[in-house]
Amino acid sequence: MVEVRIVRLHQDSKIPTCAKAGDAGVDLYAYKSALIKKNLGRQVVPTGIAIELPEGYAGFVQPRSGLAARYGVTCLNSPGLIDSSYRGEIKVILINLDPFHDYMVHKGDRIAQLVIKAVEKVEFIEVDQLSKSDRGILGFGHSGR
């Protein structure tokens, strides 16, 4: 179990919660209402909370599948990355992909999921060439449809 310190930036901010036992992500809630216009409208929606992740961990803000499937609303910067050194308010960039209908986010709505994961520190070592692999330099779409 990883302990994450959390501050409500407003008395009525909602603490993230799991919808079901065993969920990998916790739901993030809108602190303010926001209208997201149809056809690529976007809004930065505040959650009213700030967290302190332990060093060696990061938070990843991801879309809610129900919002995407039913309304065409998803996270624009997905996954949004929260570094362990960040102490500001968590905000979610939502975009409305529906070409015909605006979407209204109401205060208290579940707007995204937060997944917290351990992350490794890396050290880059410059070399003259990389080792061979079966894939090699083949990129996007190399394995077919």
pTM flag (> 0.75)? yes
Is residue 69 one of the residues assigned to a domain?
Answer: yes
Is residue 9 one of the residues assigned to a domain?
Answer: yes
Write the pLDDT tens digit of every residue in 105-124.
999 999 999 999 999 999 99
Is residue 141 one of the residues assigned to a domain?
Answer: no
Distances (CA, A) of 87 to 4, 84, 100, 117, 135: 12, 8, 37, 17, 41
Write the pLDDT tens digit of every residue in 57-106.
999 999 999 999 999 999 999 999 999 999 999 999 999 999 999 999 99
Write the pLDDT tens digit of every residue in 13-69.
999 999 898 999 999 999 999 999 999 999 999 999 999 999 999 999 999 999 999
Contact yes or no for 67/73 (Cβ under 8 A):
yes
Is residue 47 one of the residues assigned to a domain?
Answer: yes
